[in-house]
Amino acid sequence: MKNCTSFFIGVFLSGSLATAQQAGRLKPLEFESFGGAKPAANSASSSAVANVGQTTSRQGSSTEAQVAAVRALPQNVKIHDVPKSIKVFTMDSLTINQPSKKTPQRLSENDGAFSIKIAAGSEKREWLSAAYELFMKRKMNIVRAADSRGNIGDRTFDINIVYTGSVASGDEIALGDSDYTVWSPASSMFRGIVSEAYAGSVFESEDPLVYSPLVHLIFQDTIDKMTKLGIKEINFVTLAKFYRDEQHDNRSHLYEDETKMFKYATTSGDSNSALTSLFMMAYDYFANRNQRLQILSEGNLNDAEFQGFLSYLKSRLVTPSSSTGTLGVKMANFSNSGGREFEGALIYENLAVTRVLKQLGANNVKARIVYPKYSLMTDHPYYIITHKTTPSQRLAAAKFRDFLLSKEVQTIAVEQFGFRPSSDQVSAKAQTKAFADFVKSGLAQDLDTSTNFINPPTPRTIRLLRELYRNLESVD
Amino acid sequence: MKYSYIICGIALLSSFPVQQVFAQNVVECSTNGLGTTLNFIYSSEKAKWIVDATRSFNASKIQIGGKTVCVNAYADNSNSVADEAIGSAKAKLANSDQVYQSANFKKYAQVSGWDLASPASDIYISKANADFKAQTGKGDVFLNSTPLVSSPVVIAMWEDVAKSFGYPQKDITWAQIRERAEKDKNFRFGQTQPRSSNSGLSALLAQFYAANFENTKKNIVRLSKAEMTVPANQTFVQTIQKSVVHYGESTGFFQKTLVKNGPSYLSAAVLYENLVIEAQNEVLKNGFPRLLAIIPKDGTFNSTHPVAIVRGTSDEKKKAGEKFIAFLTSQSQQQAAVAAGFRPGADEDGNLKLNASLQTIYGKVLKDIKYLTTPDGETINEALRAFANGVKKPAHLAIVLDHSGSMSERGRMINARDGAIGIVKSLTVNDLVTLFQFDSRADLLIFKNLPANVTSGTSPLLDERTKNLINGVIGQIAPAGGTAIRDSVYQAASAICRDPNSANGRIRGIILLTDGDDTGSRMDSNNLFTGLASLKTTTGEPCQIPVFTVGYEVSEASEASQLLRKISSITKGQYFSGNQDTVVQILKYLADFM
């Protein structure tokens, strides 16, 4: 098995995860551990039709048109109480906004100093801020570029980094009114949201900056107790089962105080982490049903039992913030708060390392990183946008990108902020050293052996899953 | 119990300094148009820390892009923090050039929009995001919140009261408090108004959690709308509410009044841990028993004071806001927060020492706090609906408005009418309201065109239609004639005491607003004070109604000011000095006591 660094170099050196997968350079996703069941998309779709058959004539009339009593958890998960009923949605009954196609408008050159604007996911705020300071301090903000008369000369530029949600910024750029030079969401999962809104190529280049997968981070004493209770794997199906068992027994399975129920946290809203967690729920669910999914499809979302599963989790998961950073702070700071607000959370690996494990360790408290079996890679792509940008802006954006990918700045990302590098200039030894203290807490040196990274769904499926989850009602 | 209790109405409020409500907790700065100015609205519980921290930040003259950043900071209750953020974001959404005018208070007239907001807890983040989405169809109004500091919501309880529950050997549950409220008429409870204040809303939600367990014997991870509509749950919470002496906008008000007046004021009140810490020395100095912080066995909410950029804030101000947030979460400012009684919101180095008072205020070693989960925004709104529709302790309020000729000056009558209309809107369906207008004589307003059940001047059912009708009458009050303060106060107090609908079991009070000296009363002051002290109900029981007096542009040295102070003092109400910028806010503040 290749080590993690070389794995990433092989896959991502010149393109996004999606591009790499499509090009066949990444091994196909496999669900070996769940056996060789048939692909799920069609069967899931027909299952949904069967469940909502009585009301199909009303399809499309409203988001609440289809109602059926369903079981809320997959049948092969041991459950005790079956929820009463939920509203089941067909995907064509959901309203999602898809901007009309437009041609990128390249702007002609202007004169003098100029600025570029970067929309970046807040997950990498600290690293980008540090890099920006260094870039400006060294006066690297100069490019040799033409002016409006075609004269070539040195031109200085400023960089305005706006930290914003990946979906929100994608929607903004897709509408065509924004003035971003660079879009750097948390994940290339969202690429299609923008690219599908343009008839021509809206990206001049696309490069992953750093990697940091979402991981389950759970207090060690909790995970020890869960293991004793027979939980062999942490995923959203086993978490749902754990919730269900406590609910059935009406007492805590973890605490002396029997009224204190198990809580697990994810983020809310439109953040990358919130949406990725929904996809993880989907992959965990269908994997548990022995269904081999290459890509989550619209048909899968129609599955009534799957919707019941999502509803159940929606009513049980706690979502105290839209920011994984806040979840991390709440975990790290629990002893100062006098108690835990939750026992575990889905947060980025780099935050788990730099914010949580470090502080907990200082207070002699242990927590454990558990890698999800299936996930989408958070690869922090850097897209240089052609729409409403000038050649000199794109040159400047490329210069800052190259700086971010330099050995020095990649090393800062690894050593100070806990990211995994996209550049092969950072040695495996340097990574091993940076992460060594956290291996005992479950940190994997080699992501290749810990998680199956899945092909991103289509933009329409992303929007539908987001809308479906918003509309689903909680169940008891 | 050796402490005496006040029998009816809102009591012992007169000594609370008026200025603390409105004038303090504001930091304003200026860069003469050359810098980046942020407008920051925050919940008042953390004012002591935020004021100093903001001044330090402004003094450091941090620059972004060559521009000095300065922060205007304004304190308010958590609900207003959320409402102001929503109002500001909606204005920016509608038209980026539009100047935002605060929907609530004229004191913020100079603010062109909010850039940063920090309510007391996640509850308001959840609620405001849900409300904003419902109103605009857009995403979150609060972008990426960060916890600043934390402080659990606690029940502040005198040590002897706590012992009577078996504490500290046994933890206290909300079910025990409900039982005490039901059986012990001397048990006096305090919590803030849930629609305005985080601690009151946290208490209400915690009581619903406890009610659900009591009625189903089932533990739940998170409350849903369904639990709010179960009659047995509502009855459980309603029983606790019956022991509430009064509500209020400010948790700090309860703390200060407990410190000042001790156990004769309340047996227990919902506060924050930091406020109990802050109160300790003063309580003992005043000769009262220890005031303990009790966390109910059922669990409590952690007020994590999230701070967030408000939607619609410009990129430049976002950057400045991030700098300010980084400053507030820096080790030195977190240390200052700990000294002020908070728990740190961030402690990256893991070396902050918690406030030493945490070892004593619980009366025992606190092992592990059980934190309740914040429900979703719709569930929170359902809890507030249940509260307004019957769970709340009902009130009977008399509004007594001066409509003398001088009220025509500088928009006084308009502001007085607006304030009174706001009060009526805020009352709930089981509350009673009695309206007086006075010039040279007091008139119980005859409501023309109103249903028969309100023509008596008191409305038995304050539904939306009745409120609209009453507010229509208020809207027609016009200035003319002299001023008869004394006669009006006496008539209003008599009317409440004699009203058979206003028996014990209601929060009762009078709000009187005037702009000048008494020129028309037949009663002199001595007769008034004697008369107020000897009022009785129709069943012959003593009846004292606290009178909240508002002097509208009344000078401190005037006879009117002295009279109003005296009236509020002897009735255990409170005097307020208002002007055109504050009078509506004062009336709203008073309405929250009901």
DSSP class per residue in B212-253 = HHHHH----SS--HHHHT-HHHHHHHHHHHTTB----S-HHH
The verdict on a CB contact (< 8 Å) between B122 and A320 is yes
- CB burial readout A262-292, b (16+ within 10 A) else e: bbbbbbbbbbbbbbbbbbbbbbbbbbbbebb
Q: What is the pLDDT of residue B377?
A: 85
CA distances for B509 relative to A125, A126, A302, B413, B505, angstroms: 53, 54, 58, 22, 13
Sequential pLDDT tens for chain B (594 residues): 333 333 344 544 443 434 344 546 788 887 777 889 999 999 988 998 999 999 999 999 999 888 999 999 998 889 889 998 998 888 888 765 455 555 554 455 456 789 999 999 988 988 898 899 889 888 789 887 889 999 999 999 999 999 999 999 999 999 999 999 999 989 999 999 999 899 999 999 999 999 999 999 988 899 999 999 999 999 999 999 999 999 988 898 899 989 999 999 999 999 999 999 999 999 999 999 999 999 999 999 999 999 999 998 888 899 899 999 999 999 999 999 999 999 998 777 777 888 999 989 999 998 889 999 989 888 999 999 999 999 999 998 889 998 888 888 888 899 889 999 999 999 988 888 888 888 877 776 644 334 445 545 555 578 888 888 888 888 888 888 888 889 999 988 988 888 877 766 889 899 999 988 888 888 899 999 999 999 998 888 888 889 999 999 988 888 889 999 999 888 888 898 888 878 888 888 888 888
Q: What is the pLDDT of residue A347?
A: 95
Is B37 within 8 Å of B115 (Cβ atoms)?
Answer: no
Question: CB-CB: which of A117, A158, A259 is closest to B219?
Answer: A259
How far apart CA B583 and CA B22 sit, in angstroms, is 11
Is B537 within 8 Å of B39 (Cβ atoms)?
Answer: no
Task: Map tokens 């709440």 to a residue.
Answer: A330
DSSP state of B28: -
Residue B349's Cβ-side half-sphere holds a number of Cα atoms within 13 Å equal to 9
The C-alpha of A177 sits at a distance from chain B's nearest C-alpha, in angstroms, of 15
| A344 CA to centre of own chain | 17
How far apart CA B566 and CA B564 sit, in angstroms, is 5
Task: Map tokens 């008539």 to a residue.
Answer: B491
CA-nearest residue to A123 within chain B is: B144
DSSP string, A148-159: TTS-EEEEEEEE
The verdict on a CB contact (< 8 Å) between B347 and A163 is no
Q: Name residues of chain A where pLDDT drops below 70.
A: 1-85, 474-476
The C-alpha of A362 sits at a distance from chain B's nearest C-alpha, in angstroms, of 6
Close Cβ partners of B227 (under 8 Å, ≥ 6 residues apart): B208, B211, B212, B220, B233
Torsion angles phi and psi, residue A283, rounded to 5? -65, -40
- Say whether residue B5 is in contact with chain A using an 8 A CB cutoff: no
Is B352 within 8 Å of B331 (Cβ atoms)?
Answer: yes
Close Cβ partners of A436 (under 8 Å, ≥ 6 residues apart): none
- Residues of chain A in contact with residue B152, where contact means CB-CB under 8 angstroms, are 337-338
- Residues of chain A in contact with residue B348, where contact means CB-CB under 8 angstroms, are 332, 355, 358-359
The interface predicted TM-score of the complex, written ipTM, equals: 0.81
Phi-psi sector, A380: left (phi>0), alpha (psi -120 to 50), beta:
left
Torsion angles phi and psi, residue B386, rounded to 5? -60, -40
Is B248 within 8 Å of B138 (Cβ atoms)?
Answer: no
Dig out the tokens for B490 from the structure.
Answer: 């006496």
Cα Dmax for chain A: 77
Q: A86 - beta bridge partners?
A: A68
Judging by DSSP bridges, how do beta strands B268-272 and B306-310 pair with one another? unpaired
Torsion angles phi and psi, residue A194, rounded to 5? -90, -50
Q: Between residues 91 and 130 of chain B, which touch chain A (CB distance below 8 Å)?
A: 122, 125, 129
How many residue pairs from chains A and B have C-beta atoms closer than 8 A? 132
What length is written for chain A?
476
What length is written for chain B?
594
- Residues of chain A in contact with residue B372, where contact means CB-CB under 8 angstroms, are none
DSSP H or E segment with residue A129 = helix A125-137
Is B365 within 8 Å of A354 (Cβ atoms)?
Answer: no
Q: Is the dihedral of CA B268, B269, B273, B279 positive or negative?
A: negative
The C-alpha of B150 sits at a distance from chain A's nearest C-alpha, in angstroms, of 7
Dig out the tokens for B58 from the structure.
Answer: 């402004």
Instruction: Give tens-digit pLDDT for A344-388.
Output: 999 999 999 988 998 898 888 999 999 998 888 899 999 999 999
Question: CB-CB: which of A122, A250, A318 is closest to B222?
Answer: A318
Judging by DSSP bridges, how do beta strands A452-453 and B36-43 pair with one another? unpaired
Closest CA to B254 of B4, B77, B41: B77
The C-alpha of B146 sits at a distance from chain A's nearest C-alpha, in angstroms, of 6
- Residues of chain A in contact with residue B299, where contact means CB-CB under 8 angstroms, are 259-260
Close Cβ partners of A59 (under 8 Å, ≥ 6 residues apart): A65, A66, A90, A92, A93
How far apart CA A20 and CA A11 sit, in angstroms, is 6
Peptide bond into B394 cis (omega under 30): no
The C-alpha of B588 sits at a distance from chain A's nearest C-alpha, in angstroms, of 31
How far apart CA A343 and CA A337 sit, in angstroms, is 14
CA distances for B345 relative to A334, B337, B360, angstroms: 10, 9, 21
How far apart CA B46 and CA B48 sit, in angstroms, is 6
The verdict on a CB contact (< 8 Å) between B348 and A321 is no
The verdict on a CB contact (< 8 Å) between B347 and A251 is no
CA distances for B214 relative to A283, B174, B210, B243, angstroms: 38, 9, 6, 19
Q: B343 - beta bridge partners?
A: B150
- Residues of chain A in contact with residue B318, where contact means CB-CB under 8 angstroms, are 162-163
Exposure of B379 by Cβ count < 10 A (0-12 exposed, 13-18 middle, 19+ buried)? buried
Is B301 within 8 Å of B121 (Cβ atoms)?
Answer: yes
- In the three-class reduction of DSSP (H, G, I as helix; E, B as strand; rest coil), residue B143 is classed as strand
Provide the angle, in degrees to the nearest 10, between the axes of the packed helices A459-471 and A304-316: 60
Distance, first Cα to last Cα, chain A? 45
- In the three-class reduction of DSSP (H, G, I as helix; E, B as strand; rest coil), residue A324 is classed as helix
How far apart CA B7 and CA A71 sit, in angstroms, is 56
DSSP state of B371: B
For chain A, give me the number of helices (H) and strands (E)? 19, 16
For an interface test with B, the pick among A243, A326, A336, A351 (most B C-beta atoms closer than 10 Å) comes out as A336
Dig out the tokens for B421 from the structure.
Answer: 């209309």
